[in-house]
Chains A and B, each alone.
Chain A
Amino acid sequence: MQNAKDSFYMALRTRLTTINPERTVLVRGAARPGILVEEAEAPLSQIPSDVFVLRWQGLGVDVDLDSTLVAEECEILYQTFGTQSFGGLDRGRLLSAMDEELIALLQPFYTPKLNYATTPPAAMLTQVFWDEPGFTPTLTQRDRLSRSAKVLVYSYQEQGE
């Protein structure tokens, strides 16, 4: 399952560098593409702004198939205050931009599964795939706009996993 989670994250991260290379985040002194996995970072009291944060949630397994099918629910959270130069008045536009970016990041709805525990990552035999995202309504808290999208990510367990 970890390979599928890693592959999904790395696919989105790679696509983000093409779709919007300017969306970056400073993590432990290093500039990285603006997408994080919550469980792989230090605990956050509040998710960073203008960054996509992946939170892994539900899990389902179908063991009756030739290869076990695993479905994991990923919630992708994001928020924005707008920019200082516009006094935050562009926060709606920036949230819309992140909505569009996320839709683009998720297409195509599959990526090869790789084992990122090895260096370099080892290609596996199957592909990780997922459904269309389900978006929540925008949440407004003072000058902060936030939203999340849930995606079911599927993968087949391979030999040795």
Chain B
Amino acid sequence: MAGNWFSAPAPVARRVMGFFAPVNRAAQTPVLFDPVQQGSFSMEAPPAPWVSLGWIQEFTRRSASKTTAVMTGIPASTLEQVRESLAAQVSFQFLSWTKLTMALATGSQHMNLLASASGLTPAADGPQATSAVTPQSGSTANSILLAAADAAKFSPGSLVAVDADYAGQTGFVGSPVAGAFLRQPVTDLDYIRRITFNVGLVVQVNPSGISLAEPLLGGAPAAGAKVQAVTGFVDREGGCFYQEWSALFVMEGSQGERIFFHYPRLQTMAGAEEAAVSLAGKQKTGHARIQLKGQFMALPVTDPMDGERVVCYRSFLPAANALI
């Protein structure tokens, strides 16, 4: 005889999906995930401003918090426990190389290689770039309107960066995603476009402008933004900047249940590193997939509910009809 509930064993999940959202570095304001209102979101269409970074592998998380005992009496015995330190670490491997996954998997700032004219003095992060062009009003996150002569400078399949000219600012640079920290002004007019996350793939060019495959992370080009061709990406071992993002990891169980690991503030804690995973299982020769390795340290936030400082929230939405 059929019942109206079942005893749910431990969740069975095939894989983990990662979502990230930019932290406002200047204000130290993370993006919070609300499992009540957002818990049933489609994995293919996460709620804004979360960005899907796809399936990840080797996801491990561990608490690095330390607890110590307060001893009393003779002989001493534990009176109570206190939390001596609060810390947590997360590590995993990305299955794709994108602007965002590369940035997250490097311990420092991540830059765009801006296209340049040939014959210039070589530079490790790209020589002086070709001039940027100005979008026209009415541009959107997917479609950038340009003068016909400017549009002709781009071709389908090329990459572009869209952001403002550098104007001498210091501190965290880039909006809405801080891409660098400048201790002193630089002289490069294109600096913000070098570190911006507003990067897109051109899929169509016509006399009125260019269309992008996906919307720009920062939305429609802001006033003063310019467009520049990008040939690739570069990051460095060293520097004073640490990537910091709000992170959400989701495990979807076989019965529709969901486990969420939400780290409001996650900073990279290791330099760029890759793992070569053989495509033919245990075979040591032959093709290998180069997976980006990410190691992160969780930073605390204050939970406004009770003022407690925490580094991670683990939420569980049980399967329908599951006994709890």
Contacts and interface: CB of A to CB of B under 8 A. Distances in A.
Contacts of B255: 126-127, 156
Contact of A156 (B3, B4, B9): B9
B76 interface: no
A131 B1 CA distance: 29
Interface of A: 65-67, 69, 109-110, 115, 122, 124-127, 129, 131, 154, 156, 158-160
A44 B240 CA distance: 71
A66 B7 contact: yes
Nearest to B3: A159
A66 B1 CA distance: 18
Interface string B243-278: 000000000001110000000000000000000000
Contacts of A67: 6-9
A48 B305 CA distance: 65
B319 to A, nearest CB: 8
A160 B12 contact: no
Contacts of A127: 254-256
Nearest to B322: A125
A110 B13 CA distance: 11
Nearest to A130: B254
A129 B319 CA distance: 14
Contacts of A65: 9-10
B256 A158 contact: no
Contact of A125 (B9, B10, B12, B321): B321
Interface residues of B, number: 19
B12 A129 contact: yes
Nearest to A132: B14
Interface string B1-27: 111111111101010000000000000
Given A109-B14, A110-B254, A154-B254, A125 B4 contact: yes
A129 B254 contact: yes
Contacts of B323: 66
A129 B252 CA distance: 12
Contact of B6 (A110, A131, A158): A158
Contacts of A160: 1-3
A127 B256 CA distance: 8
B6 A156 contact: yes
Given A110-B254, A129-B12, A129-B254, A124 B2 contact: yes
Contacts of A154: 12, 254
Contact of B2 (A109, A156, A158): A158
Contacts of A129: 12, 254
A35 B320 CA distance: 31
Contacts of B321: 125-126
A34 to B, nearest CB: 28
A67 B12 CA distance: 13
Contacts of A124: 2
Given A65-B9, A127-B254, A129-B254, A159 B2 contact: yes
